[in-house]
Amino acid sequence: MPIVPATASASSLVDRMSANPWFGALPLADRQALLDSAELLRLRPGEMLFRQGDAPGGFYGLLGGLLKISSLREDGREAILVVLEAGNWIGEISLMDGEPRTHDATALSAAEVLVVPQAAFAALMEGAPFARAVAGLLAARVRSLYGMVEDAALRSTRARVARRLLLLARGDATMALKARPVVPVSQEALAMMLGISRQTLSKELKALAAQGVLALRYGRMEILAMDRLEVLGRRVE
């Protein structure tokens, strides 16, 4: 996996990455420092950025493409925690506690990843604004995980499907303020995220489609009634 210097100008990289709410809220000096210290890593589809159990490495910004964060169950089945789109940053957990990587990170498509070395991340953490921002990033991760636990314990399968679609419509980990009508995730990947069978998911999606809530397309889903999907997502068992 050759690492080459980023060819885009610093200003254009700042503009591209600042579409992400977390990165865009950083002080400009911190955004520039992150990007100035980064090198560009290109991944082929199916190539891994890191594996579960790997030693802490860098702090990673996804410049283009898709990454899945996943792990394998004991029976060999894959569980997908999240699909990351361009603009997202990952890798801070192992850099904070020094423990091994908790999941696999794999390119779902050709991907470009900005790699910030561990030493550069540590230097930025000496500044209070960046340290507070990383704390906020970690808090968002915890909130998301608590939400998943709550969904599994309290909500029906249909409500869980609705809530996950709503997350994906906002870029999942990106959590953009404005939801997009098209969710660029396959049904197979969505089933792995929810920990349910492909058949169960298909049944729920067809029911939502019959209600006019969404339309099923090849490799993606189109949300037709965002407000109705939000109502479904709030239901508990």
In the chain, where the domains are located: 3-143, 157-233
pLDDT at 8: 53
Residues contacting 181, CB < 8 A, separation 6+: 169, 222, 223, 224, 226
Residues 126-148: b if buried by 16+ CB within 10 A, e if exposed: eeeebeebbeebeeeeeeeeeeb
Is residue 69 within 8 A of residue 80, CB to CB? The reply is yes
Q: Which amino acid is at 131?
A: A
pLDDT at 5: 43
Q: What would the two tokens of residue 85 be?
A: 């789109």
| Residues in the chain, pLDDT under 70 | 1-10, 172-177, 236-237
Query: pTM for the full model?
Result: 0.82
Helices of type H across the chain: 10-17, 21-24, 28-36, 92-97, 118-124, 128-154, 157-169, 187-194, 198-210, 226-233
pLDDT at 7: 47
Distance from C-alpha of 69 to C-alpha of 208, rounded to nearest angstrom:
27
pLDDT at 10: 61
Q: What would the two tokens of residue 28 be?
A: 């400009």
pLDDT at 236: 59
In CATH, 157-233 is 3.40.50.970? no
Record: fold of 3-143: Jelly Rolls (2.60.120)
